[in-house]
Amino acid sequence: MEVLEKSEERVKVHLKGVSRAYANAIRRIVLSEVPCMAIDEIVILENSSIMYDELLAHRLGLVPLKTDLSRYVLPEDCDCENPLGCPKCRVLLVLDAESKEGVKDVVSGDLRSEDESTIPISPDISIVKLAAGQKIKLEAYARLGKGKEHAKWQPASVSVLKPTSEEDTGDDYTLEIESVGSLSASEIFVKAVEILNEKLQKFNEKSRSLKK
Ligand SMILES: [Zn+2]
């Protein structure tokens, strides 16, 4: 394996001596199984904007959030077994905005997170416009999830595999990953390989139990 290009947003790795099936499995896991944070539930305390509650929830779900994978676990893997979650599997963000006069553009930077490691990747993402006198107050709960569940939990916008040379030899590929911004591109790659190895490990244990 050789790293050809590496930045926060983009990573390009050369996989030599790696089968197409294995390389392609990494590519797919990048999109469907590497978890990241997204807002999943909201409790609206007040909404006098013209935007329906459901649409507001949808908009908030699509705001990419910085993700610290060392700090949180997927709700299904959490030992709290609490449907409401706990500090290991859920983060609360509060939005409390009001327009006293004129039009106010409510943006992602108006979300107040209880954890500084879980904030929008950019403060400038527009959520809703408020006319004078309108108000929004809500609690938003973010959690880890996977892209196969919903695209809002997809940490990469691009995951492409190509044969390194023009002729496909079946064991020489280049994988290119572009991050949405929740995780760095290299974190996504490393996590995808980790997930694939865990799967192979489990497969190995199962197949060994056949011998008994
Ligand atoms: Zn929990």
To 5 degrees, how large is the angle CA 106–CA 154–CA 196? 155
Q: Which fold has domain 2-33+155-209?
A: Gyrase A; domain 2 (3.30.1360)
Give the tens place of pLDDT for each residue, 54-94: 999 999 999 999 999 999 999 999 999 888 899 999 999 99
d(CA 69, ligand 1 centre) in Å: 14
Split at pLDDT 50, 70, 90, the class of 139 is very high
Alpha-helical segments (H) within 51-106? 53-61
Domain boundaries, the chain: 2-33+155-209, 36-146
Residue that is written with structure tokens 């990048």 in the block = 30
Q: How far is ligand 1, taken at its centre, from the CA of residue 71, in Å?
A: 12
pLDDT digits (tens, 9 = 90+) for 108-127: 999 999 999 999 999 999 99
SS3 letters across 138-178: EEEEEEEECCCCCHHHCCEEEEEEEECCCCCCCCEEEEEEE
Percentage, residues of the chain above pLDDT 70: 100
Does domain 36-146 bear CATH number 2.60.40.10? no
pLDDT at residue 135 greater than cutoff 80: yes
| C-alpha 153 to ligand 1 mean position (Å) | 18
> How many Cβ atoms from other residues are within 10 Å of residue 15's Cβ?
19
Distance 36 CA to ligand 1 centre (A): 16
8 A C-beta contact, residue 78 and residue 89: yes
Q: Is the pLDDT of residue 212 over 90?
A: no
Q: How far is the CA of 85 from the centre of ligand 1 (A)?
A: 4
Token pair recorded at residue 44? 């609206």
Structure tokens at 140: 């938003």
